[in-house]
Amino acid sequence: VHGNIMSYESIKRITFYAHIFGALLLFLTSILKFVQFNFTHTEFVLNIYYIFFGLLIVCSEIGFGKVLENFYFLNFCFGKSLFSGFIATLTWTLSYWIQTVVAIFFIVACGGFLILGFMFGKNESEKFSQNTPSAQQQDKAREMQPQDQKVPAPQVQQQLHIYS
């Protein structure tokens, strides 16, 4: 328990549901815009991005390995905060009500994730580093790599002179 407020596990559950709800809002926005057939070329591309970002959020929250590796920042509250702020800037408009609702949600989520990042950032990084076998395997592979495989700088320069 952190300062007798909430446990790290309860915070993870809250961030999970908040992020999934945000993804559903993104899907809803895209579907409503596509059904109305009332959008410009730019809005069409943004709708595709909304779907992609919604899928990215869902995949990161359910623990899809490749997403967690390639979008590493989504493993942490600070990363979720930045991503939520980015989505808020993409969706902010006063011309379509659902996009305004989505933007306000992601602005609030951005602030919430930021606060949680400050409160539980150390816990997150410790728990995530324990549960990441690929990072541990990469570290072991680097330790096992012989030092003589590295080419010294003068030899590289000599090889470049031969080819030029």
pLDDT number for residue 108: 93
Task: Give whole-number Cα distances, 4 to 10, 39, 81, 124, in Å.
Answer: 12, 49, 23, 18
Hey, which bits of the chain come out as E strands?
A: none
Secondary element (H or E) of residue 88: helix 77-91
Count of beta carbons in the 10 Å neighbourhood of residue 128: 14
Place 105 in a pLDDT band, splitting at 50, 70 and 90: very high
Residue type, 13: R
Q: Determine the Cα–Cα distance for residues 19 and 142; give it in Å rounded to an integer.
A: 35
Of 121, 125, 123, nearest to 113 by C-alpha is 121
44-99 pLDDT, tens digit per residue, is 898 899 999 999 999 999 988 788 888 888 888 899 999 999 999 998 987 788 88
Element housing 103 (H / E): helix 97-130
The SS3 call for residue 20 is: helix
How many CA within 13 A on the CB side of residue 88?
16
Both tokens of 37, joined, read 């057939």
